[in-house]
C-alpha cells in the first residue's frame, strides 16, 4: 500500500473504533430504558445513540471539560457527556413516544 492509502485507512479505522466505543456507551441508558419500558421499541435506542453522539460532538467542539475523559484509538471520548446526552435522548423518546396499549381487537 502507498503511504497515503495507509494513512486514510488508519484514519477510517480510528474513527470506526471511536464510534463503536461511543455507541457502546450510548447503548447503556438505551438498553436500561428498553428493559424497564412496558413496550420496548427501537426508538429508545436510536434516541440514546443520537443524543450521545450529539453530546459528545458538542462537548468536544465547545471544549467543555469532562472528568471521565479517556482515549480510544488516540481520540478523546467524553464519557460523562456521552452518557448524559444518551440519557436525555432516552427521556425525550419516552415522553415523546408513549407506549401503545396492546389489544387483540381490530378496529373496523
Q: Decide if 104 is inside a domain.
A: no
pLDDT greater than 70 at residue 39: no
Q: Which residues span the domain enclosing 39?
A: 22-96
The total number of structural domains in the chain stands at 1
Task: Compare 36 and 46 and report the one with higher pLDDT.
Answer: 46
As a whole number of angstroms, the distance between CA 51 and CA 82 comes to: 8
Helix (H, G, I), strand (E, B) or coil at 104: coil
Q: Decide if 9 is inside a domain.
A: no
Q: Decide if 108 is inside a domain.
A: no
pLDDT greater than 70 at residue 47: yes
Residue 21: closest CA among 73, 66, 65 = 73
Q: Decide if 101 is inside a domain.
A: no
> Residue 81 pairs with which residues in a beta bridge?
none
For residue 7, how many C-alpha atoms fall within 13 Å in the half-sphere facing its CB?
3
Cβ count near 11 (within 10 Å): 11
pLDDT greater than 80 at residue 30: yes
pLDDT greater than 60 at residue 108: no
Q: What is the pTM (predicted TM-score) of this model?
A: 0.77
As a whole number of angstroms, the distance between CA 76 and CA 17 comes to: 12
Amino acid at each position: 500500500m502507498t503511504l497515503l492509502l495507509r494513512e486514510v485507512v488508519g484514519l477510517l479505522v480510528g474513527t470506526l473504533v471511536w464510534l463503536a466505543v461511543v455507541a457502546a456507551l450510548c447503548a447503556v441508558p438505551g438498553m436500561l430504558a428498553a428493559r424497564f419500558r412496558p413496550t420496548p421499541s427501537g426508538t429508545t435506542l436510536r434516541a440514546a445513540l443520537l443524543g450521545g453522539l450529539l453530546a459528545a460532538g458538542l462537548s468536544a467542539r465547545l471544549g467543555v471539560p469532562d472528568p471521565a475523559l479517556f482515549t480510544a484509538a488516540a481520540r478523546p471520548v467524553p464519557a460523562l457527556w456521552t452518557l448524559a446526552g444518551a440519557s436525555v435522548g432516552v427521556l425525550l423518546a419516552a415522553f415523546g413516544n408513549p407506549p401503545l396499549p396492546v389489544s387483540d381487537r381490530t378496529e373496523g
